[in-house]
Structures are given as C-alpha cells and as structure tokens.
Amino acid sequence: MTLVTLLVGAAPAVGQSLSDGTPVEVAGPAATVLSSDPSGQGRLVEAFGDVRHARDIAVIVPGVGWTGPLLKDESGAGRRHPAVQARSLLAEMERRAPGTPAAVVVWLDYDPPAGIDADAARSDRAVQGAPRLAAFLRTLPRSSRVSLVCHSYGSVVCGRAAPHLKVSALVVVGSPGMDVWSRSGLHTSARVWAGVAADDPIGLVPHTRIDGLGHAADPTTPAFGALPLPVEGAHGHNGYLVAGTASLRAIAQIASGQQPSSAGATP
C-alpha cells in the first residue's frame, strides 16, 4: 500500500476535523493587513495588536485549506479560523504578561495544500513558502521576542525554514512531521515544543518519508527531542488555541518568555 493510498484513506476523518464548526466570537483587535498578494491562491499576512511596538510577538503559520480570501472573511468563523485563534492567543498572552505589549501575526504568505491530498503528502508548498517566512520574520523589530506557532502542514513550512530563523521558540501542534528525523535536524537554537491531542486524527497520517512523500518523524515522540507541550483540554485537529485549554495557556506562556505550566497546574 502506498503512502498516498494511506493518506487518502485517512482523509475523511481528518477532513471532518478540518471543518470550522460552530461560529465563535472572541473579543480583540481588528486585523491589520501587513501584506496582501493575489499570487497563487491569494496570500495574506495579518496582525492583531501593534507589531511595531510589541515586546512579544507570536506568529501563527496555518496549515491546509487556507487562502487569503478565506482568511480575510471572518463571517461565521469557528475555532479553526486563524483570526479567532490569533485573538484567543493574544488575550491569553496579555493575561499572562499584563503590561507587556504583545501582538499575534497570522502568516499566510504561502500556498497551503487545498486539503488532505497528495499535495499535503509532499513538501513542495512548504519548500516554496519557507524563504518567504524567513524574509518576513527579518522585518519584525529586533528588540521583540518572536515565537512561531506552527499548525498542521504549517509545521512543515516551519521545519523547512528553521535553519534560517532567529526566533526564541518554535511550537508545533497537530503536526504531520517537519521533514526531519530529530530536533537536531532543524539546525536551530530556538527551543522546540511539540504537542498533539489524543483525538487529533492527524495521528492517522503515517510518519515516514519515501520518495518525497511524507514528512518524516513525529515531533511529539521522545526520540525526536522536542519539549512536550501540554495539550490537556484540546480536542480534534483545531482545538489547540481554544480558551481554557492547557495548550493555549502553554503557548501564551512560551510566547511571553515564561515556562509553560505543567498539566493540572493552577492557571
């Protein structure tokens, strides 16, 4: 059985998890467009908060199924929508470090695969996007602490870009792999965190790499060498940045330069 066959077989379960779900309203600033490009599927970079004066900046790299027009359209947005996730993370960062200027950026200056398909099994989209991610991060204030939050296929982009990034932390959630077999293969000085929810169907996707298909090791396994990200309370493929979850709390703490609370710790 080929890897593509395995991937297509897993697609219905993963695809169902990719649905946006019930609309969610999260208080927070309106999106500020940092860049917009009609190339490809439509690329868009949005900021939530004042990036120019932020001390702590978290950059979310979304995965499959997103385009610039979809990101810009917040009507009926559910918990999967990057704008909802960005506002949730910003609110938690501000709660964790009151008085410290913070901002969250949604970086979609690449063309993610349209769905769980053969493109998602390959790294072409990530290879093309990685230099643009590195270039964007170089535009951020040098005095800011910058953390990457890479979801799903976005973690492949981050893995490909990692050797060229100067960030304090790299967090991957719901990852199919980062195109490396261990943390050392990322060639980064950043602290690397990885987590996956027990019911995230990304676990159905094989962690291998054969003839350019697959994204190598599972970054959440001890052998990979990443730090374990608490994910208690997170459900499915899109629940990592939902209010009340251990994963949102931990990611906000990491982005604020704090040590993540262990599971069960007092919020």
Per-residue pLDDT of 23-79, as tens digits, reads 777 889 999 999 999 988 899 999 999 999 999 999 999 999 999 999 999 988 888
pLDDT surpassing 70 at residue 171: yes
**Alpha-carbon distances of 248 from 3, 171, 189, 207, rounded to whole Å:** 32, 11, 23, 25
Q: What is the mean pLDDT of residues 161-165?
A: 97
pLDDT tens digit sequence for 86-98: 999 999 999 999 9
Largest CA distance in the chain: 55
- Give residue 266's pLDDT: 35
Mean pLDDT, the chain, rounded, equals 90
* Residue 20: band (very low, low, confident or very high) from pLDDT cuts 50, 70, 90: low
CATH superfamily of this structure's domain 24-255: Alpha/Beta hydrolase fold, catalytic domain (3.40.50.1820)
One-letter identity of residue 244: G
Amino acid 13: pLDDT: 45
So where are the chain's domains?
24-255
Cβ-based neighbours of 189, under 8 Å, separated by 6 or more: none
Pairing of strands 56-61, 145-151: parallel
pLDDT of residue 19: 55
**pLDDT tens, residue by residue, 172-231:** 999 999 999 999 999 999 999 999 999 999 988 888 888 888 999 999 999 999 999 999
Rounded Cα–Cα distance for residues 239 and 237 (Å): 6
CB-based burial of residue 83 (10 Å sphere; 0-12 exposed, 13-18 middle, 19+ buried)? buried
Backbone angles phi, psi at 201, to 5 degrees: -70, 0
The pTM for the full model equals: 0.91
